[in-house]
Amino acid sequence: MSLVVREGLSLKPFNSFALDARASLFVEAGNDQQVREALALATSRGLPLLVIGGGSNLLLTQDVQALVLRMASRGVRVLSEADGVLVVEAEAGEPWHAFVVRTLEQGLAGLENLSLIPGTVGAAPMQNIGAYGVELKDVFAGLTALDRHTGELREFSLAECTFAYRDSRFKRESERWVILRVRFALSRTAAVHLDYGPVRQRLAVLGIEQPTPLQVSQAICAIRQEKLPDPAQLGNAGSFFKNPLVSAERAAALRAEHADLVAYPQADGQVKLAAGWLIERAGWKGYRDGDAGVHHLQALVLVNHGGASGPQLLALARRIQADILQRFAVDLEIEPRVL
Ligand code: EPU
């Protein structure tokens, strides 16, 4: 099927902040061939290409002078099974949470802690999505991407993706690769991860001591639903800042001033601070300037109460960054892609 090309389309339904920016051209690709056609179209029209999945990690501050390519490919398949480990491949356009639930319902463990994260399978490796002690890299078994420079397909192993906290090669080389499908190593024998924050406690309240992966997923969905706003109801892009890494000395100095500082020592000696704690402590939780605001239950999440613009949200983020720098001498890095 040939591409349906739309000019000047509003991206409001295609970004989770629900910002009303227009795309010069907009197409959806359901397969590799359509991705190639979109690339050729962008070249022939002299436009850059912007690939989006669920649009859940984007802050649009103006109209997008580009061909916006929304990945809409579907398909999930098992590629191999050995010693109870299955390699499952999903197309980039598969909605993430539905894919997670599908694997769990088939008795496969691995993705349960990553339940209810908005977005698509193809976007997940970009920022190495993570939640409740598990990151995508922990279950990653490879991906296939299209090289926009050569037009060839390329396979990537775990090491080649250079995943890090909310980071990957694909985020750093965003002009080069279009992720087409991703593979995951999932297990029939459950080894669940319950050590992050409220997970074990939540299950204990339900009287569950040895949870199945599906039960872990259900507990995590409940925790997320309590604290994180649903983008369908209140525009947001999840955590708006990364949790900052500081030196052990800096963390100790902050702890001396703030006994209840939330901090996680890292293997390399650095300390990760909970940005949500810093922002709340600085008094921003629930703050609102017009329709741009800070969520009242999770200070790390900026929200669009309806009519906020991208520049208004960005201005609020800059004020928060300046305040956190001044109060705590900590630099907060913006997490979503700002366009
Ligand atoms: N906290 C506060 N005030 C707040 C928010 C958090 O004091 O307003 C404290 C909490 O009490 C807790 C600590 O900060 O002690 C951590 O909070 P939480 O467990 O909610 O997680 P987070 O560090 O704020 C990170 C991820 C989330 C992920 C959760 C759970 C980042 C940038 N964010 O948030 O990811 O769901 O952990 O694993 O790493 C996302 O990336 O969009 C996202 C939602």
As a three-state string, the secondary structure of 275-302 is HHHHHHHCCCCCCEECCEEECCCCCCEE
H/E run at residue 36: helix 32-45
Residue corresponding to tokens 């010069």: 24
Distance, CA 220 to ligand 1 centroid (Å)? 13
The answer to whether the CB of 86 falls within 8 A of the CB of 176 is: no
Edge-to-edge order in the sheet of strand 288-289: 235-239, 301-304, 292-294, 288-289
Residues enclosing ligand 1, CB less than 6 A?
131-132, 196-197, 227, 238-239, 242-243, 262, 274, 276-277, 280, 285, 298-300, 335
Domain ranges of the chain: 6-71, 76-187, 235-338
Q: What is the pLDDT, as a whole number, of residue 195?
A: 87
Q: Give the mean pLDDT per block of 10 residues along the chain (339 residues).
A: 92 98 98 97 97 97 98 98 96 98 97 98 97 97 96 97 97 95 94 89 90 95 96 97 97 96 94 98 98 98 98 98 97 97
Q: Give the span between the Cα atoms of 250 and 256, in whole angstroms.
A: 10
Q: What is the pLDDT, as a whole number, of residue 238?
A: 97
CATH code of the domain occupying 235-338: 3.90.78.10
Report pTM: 0.96
Which of 91, 112, 135, 335 is an active site residue? 335
Q: Give the span between the Cα atoms of 156 and 213, in whole angstroms.
A: 28
Distance, CA 239 to ligand 1 centroid (Å)? 7
CATH code of the domain occupying 76-187: 3.30.465.10
Pocket test for ligand 1, best of 100, 117, 167, 277 (most atoms within 8 A of CB): 277
Nearest to 49 by CA among 12, 82, 3: 3
Residue corresponding to tokens 């991206």: 11
Type of residue numbered 169: R
Q: Residue 303 pairs with which residues in a beta bridge? A: 236, 293
Q: Give the span between the Cα atoms of 125 and 178, in whole angstroms.
A: 11
Q: Can you tell me which atom of ligand 1 is nearest the CA of 241?
A: 32
Kindly report the protein residue whose alpha carbon is nearest to atom 28 of ligand 1.
131
Which of 239, 250, 281, 309 is an active site residue? 239
Q: What is the pLDDT, as a whole number, of residue 235?
A: 98
Nearest to 75 by CA among 62, 92, 60, 87: 92
The tokens describing 7, both together, are 């000019």
The answer to whether the CB of 262 falls within 8 A of the CB of 277 is: yes
Edge-to-edge order in the sheet of strand 263-265: 245-246, 271-273, 263-265
The answer to whether the CB of 139 falls within 8 A of the CB of 85 is: no
Q: Can you tell me which atom of ligand 1 is nearest the CA of 165?
A: 39
Residue corresponding to tokens 């991407």: 145
Q: What is the pLDDT, as a whole number, of residue 1?
A: 67
The tokens describing 144, both together, are 């296939």
Distance, CA 242 to ligand 1 centroid (Å)? 9
Which of 166, 202, 250, 281 is an active site residue? 166
DSSP string, 90-118: EETTSBHHHHHHHHHHTT-BSSGGGTT--
Distance, CA 114 to ligand 1 centroid (Å)? 14
Instruction: Match domain 6-71 to its CATH number in 3.30.70.20, 3.20.20.120, 3.40.630.30, 3.30.43.10.
Output: 3.30.43.10
Per the annotation, the verdict on 166 as an active-site residue is yes
Q: Can you tell me which atom of ligand 1 is nearest the CA of 197?
A: 19
The answer to whether the CB of 109 falls within 8 A of the CB of 188 is: yes
Q: Can you tell me which atom of ligand 1 is nearest the CA of 131?
A: 38
Quick one: 83 exposed, middle or buried, by C-beta within 10 A (0-12, 13-18, 19+)? exposed
Q: What is the pLDDT, as a whole number, of residue 314?
A: 98
Q: Give the span between the Cα atoms of 260 and 155, in whole angstroms.
A: 46
Q: What is the pLDDT, as a whole number, of residue 111?
A: 98
Distance, CA 269 to ligand 1 centroid (Å)? 21
